Structure 1
Amino acid sequence: MPGCNSDFFSQEEVDRMQFGCIGDEVLIHKTCIIVDTRKIFLGNRVRIDANCLLSVGSSLLIGNNVHLAAQTIVSGHADITIEEYAGCSFGVKILSSSDDFSGNYMTNPTVRSEYTNVHSSAVRVSRHAIIGAGSVVLPGVTIGEGGAIGSQSLVNSDTEAWSIYAGVPVKRLRARSRELLDREHLYKSTLSKN
């Protein structure tokens, strides 16, 4: 896999981490923090760059050919799915849990749960979706297939497939080209020849 160097764990080291499932050609940077690997399922050709945090209370499924750029955080108590060919740019946060900010409840994990009102809901980043640098995806959101999220955006509701969104909160800007699907077929044909 391109970009392989001594800053990443070897395949043998990754295999020993006891992930729920682990594919081939997985690159995980040695500075990543990964909590409860048995709840994390990684496909083939996954790359997780420097200083990422993966910490889920339920399960995290990462499909084939997924890239998590440096300082990406994927965390929460509900399931998180990142489907094949999706990508997260530098500093993206995908959260499946959030405290109640209304002031009606206490917040943070040092307080017993009967005094808080944590909302947890599954998050899905669909295939071929891309999330721009510094964006935040909140609990319960599905980013539609082929969706593109502009940098520094707040995704607090589902997005349509093959659409470009940006803003705080995100708004749909326009359609996104599907031409990359032709390239996907060509790419897959090269994999079958190897």
Structure 2
Amino acid sequence: MTFKIYDDAKIINRDKLKIGHKSQIDDFVFFNCGEESVLGDFVHIASFCSIIGGGKFYMDHFSGLSAGCRIITGSDDFSGKALTNPTVPSKYTSVKKSTVRIGKHAILGTNVTVLPGVTIGEGAAVGAGALVRKDLEPWTIYVGPDCKPLKSRPSSTILALEKELLDELGLSLKMLEFMNKE
């Protein structure tokens, strides 16, 4: 397996990270691997992205985060029933950890923010600056700050190109089981 993590990427809890073949994490990424983080094959995380929150994070094969994306896998309880922020001992806080899943061939544009508990379906594309607060359907293009569906994204060309590439390289992708966990 070959992958690339650039020298100026900051990876916290690296022992919780599994990273696939030909995947890449660029310089200036901040990645808190939390409870568990799995990146499939041919995954790209661009500069200035952050993955935080302490929960679980999964990216399936051929998915990508464009520059400046924010993935949040957990959050303090802001209701007033607990203290907040990471400087406070955990017995006085109430951090809810969650899971974020990004499906195969999904792509997030520059400065997209994904909130805890969201699943982004296979082949979904999210335009720059969107706030993703709920699950996204497969093979759909979403745009705008409120992440509204625009139109379907055809899968046939992408899947044919995937097959051509894998055949050329003599590879087969092992199915990742994390999309159906929990």
Q: Do the two structures share a fold, i.e. TM-score over 0.5?
A: yes
Alignment of 1:141-180 (within 5 A): 141-178=118-155, 179-180=157-158
Aligned counterpart, 2:20: 43
The alignment status of 1:120 with 2:125, answered yes or no, reads no
> Of 26, 51, 64, which residue of structure 2 is paired with 1:87?
64
Q: Please give the secondary structure, in 1, of the residue aligned with 2:170.
A: helix
Q: How big is each residue's C-alpha offset from its partner over 1:120-179, in whole Å with a ceiling of 9 and x where there is no partner?
A: 111100000000100111110000000001101111110000001123332212111212
Gaps of 5+ in 2: 172-182
Task: Provide the rounded CA distance (Å) in 1 between the counterparts of 2:141 and 2:83.
Answer: 36
Task: Provide the rounded CA distance (Å) in 2 between the counterparts of 1:137 and 1:78.
Answer: 13
Aligned counterpart, 1:183: 161
Aligned-residue offset at 1:103: 4.5
Letter in 1 for 2:40: G
Label 1:36 to 1:114 Cα distance change in 2 as closer, same or farther (>3 A). closer
Identical positions, percent: 38
Label 1:120 to 1:168 Cα distance change in 2 as closer, same or farther (>3 A). farther
TM-score, structure 2 normalization: 0.87
Structure 1 range deviating more: 50-59 or 164-173: 164-173
Q: Please give the secondary structure, in 1, of the residue aligned with 2:159.
A: helix
- The answer (yes or no) to whether the contact 2:11–2:33 under 8 Å persists in 1 is no
Structure 1 range deviating more: 102-111 or 70-79: 102-111
Structure 1 runs (4+) deviating above 3 angstroms are: 101-105
The alignment status of 1:62 with 2:62, answered yes or no, reads no
- The answer (yes or no) to whether the contact 2:118–2:132 under 8 Å persists in 1 is yes
Letter in 2 for 1:115: Y
Aligned residues between the structures: 170
Aligned-residue offset at 1:74: 1.6
Aligned-residue offset at 1:104: 4.7
Alignment of 1:3-18 (within 5 A): none
CA RMSD of aligned residues (A): 1.5
